[in-house]
Amino acid sequence: MSATQEMPYFIKPSINLTTNKKRAAYEQASLGIDANLIKESNLILKMVTINCILKTYLPYYYWVGFYIVNNGRLSVGPYQGTLGCLHIDFSKGVCGRAAREEKTQIVKDVHLLNKDKAHIACDPNSQSEIVVPVFDKDKNLIAVFDVDSTLKNSFDAIDQFFLETIIKKHFTN
Ligand code: SME
């Protein structure tokens, strides 16, 4: 079974935000994440909380989750959304590129990428994407954080700034 074009009842299509509303939403989400994770050390609890709060505040977050480095590849971790691919090789997809290059990837239109090589479509509704590498305290890559939108051009430098800040604060520092 894989994700279908038809969205299940519990999932809604993305809504893009203006720059000011996006910044304000991230500021509120960051406060909520900090308040809930201030004394938390459990990796999985951090991941599920970050998924939940960001998806609550950012209406263009269609699929949001982590792919965890495991046995030389990426394996799906905590996520919210339709069925995610279980494993991704470092040589494949936007997630694999983020892991290889250890740099955030912003894709304005996933359909401009080579299908199945440069982009893996776990859900046919995905139109744009951001993937942020996650490092531990020793600066080792431990995961990537992946967000999909059903609209083009949902992600930009503001998403990159806030997501890199949140991830560094709660996984690396
Ligand atoms: N689109 C990602 C695969 C993960 S699904 O989006 C959840 C990629 O190209 O690596």
Does the structure show a pLDDT above 90 at 173?
A: no
Q: Determine the atom of ligand 1 nearest the C-alpha atom of 119.
A: 9
Q: Is the CB of 51 under 6 A from ligand 1?
A: no
Rg of the chain taking only CA atoms, in angstroms: 15
Write down the pTM of the prediction.
0.95
Q: What is the pLDDT of residue 132?
A: 98
For 38-74, what is each residue's pLDDT tens digit? 999 999 999 999 999 999 999 999 999 999 999 999 9
For 65-90, what is each residue's pLDDT tens digit? 999 999 999 999 999 999 999 999 99
Q: Is the CB of 149 under 6 A from ligand 1?
A: no
Q: How confident is the model at residue 7 (pLDDT cuts 50, 70, 90)?
A: confident
Q: What is the pLDDT of residue 127?
A: 97
Sequence-distant (≥ 6) Cβ neighbours of residue 82 within 8 angstroms: 3, 7, 8, 11, 63, 122, 123, 125
Q: Is the CB of 3 under 6 A from ligand 1?
A: no
Does the structure show a pLDDT above 70 at 134?
A: yes
The answer regarding whether domain 19-30+41-171 maps to CATH 3.40.50.620 reads no
Q: What is the pLDDT of residue 96?
A: 98
Q: Determine the atom of ligand 1 nearest the C-alpha atom of 95.
A: 10
The CA-atom distances, in angstroms, between 32 and each of 17, 35, 54, 101 are 19, 5, 9, 30
Q: Is the CB of 159 under 6 A from ligand 1?
A: no
Q: What is the pLDDT of residue 1?
A: 58
Does the structure show a pLDDT above 80 at 3?
A: no
